[in-house]
Amino acid sequence: MMRAMFLNRLSFIILIALFIQGFIPVPLRAAEQWEGVVVYVLDGDSIKVKVDGRVKVVRLKGIDAPEKGQPHAEEASLFVRHLTLHQPVTLKVFGLDKYERVLAEVTMKDGLNLNQEIVRRGLAWQHIAYSKDKTLRSLEREARDARLGLWAEANPEPPWVWKRRHGK
């Protein structure tokens, strides 16, 4: 009994020490808003944003753009780069994803919602496993009907299927 209490306390102390040292990420409060500038575009659904002097990797919430090597991946990346690089943005932050990227909706200075615009242009899917957003669903349906971007293909393969098939 005493040993179990000692181990519980020791575990707690170790966790606090790891947290303080930064080895355990600080949980974010839902729907925080951050201001920043896009400094790099990783791909069609991930960017780097400088916020308060620190660069954060941001994963666009609710969408999934084609992976490198998939059709339309470069088109999606170029679109995001053209629209966002070196531009001020507002991040509506929802927390961290499993890779510890900041999960956010990104709004441009003119009010354009980047997450929605990528789907509207047919350059990404609504990520149905992580999003029930009705606006994204509607925008994807409209892009499909208009055969925009990746929807010009007969049967585009979603990135989550492509990654599984390629062992990624």
Q: Please tell me which residue in 67, 120, 121, 140 is annotated as part of the active site.
A: 67
Enumerate long-range contacts of 72-75, CB under 8 Å, 24 or more apart. Answer: 72/123, 72/149, 72/150, 72/153, 72/156, 73/43, 73/44, 75/123, 75/149
67 is catalytic: yes
Q: Please tell me which residue in 74, 75, 81, 101 is annotated as part of the active site.
A: 101
Backbone angles phi, psi at 91, to 5 degrees: -105, 125
74 is catalytic: no
Distances (CA, A) of 165 to 44, 69, 80, 126: 20, 13, 26, 20
Q: Please tell me which residue in 59, 105, 121, 140 is annotated as part of the active site.
A: 59
Report the chain's C-alpha Rg in angstroms. Answer: 19
153 is catalytic: no
Which residues are tagged catalytic? 59, 67, 101
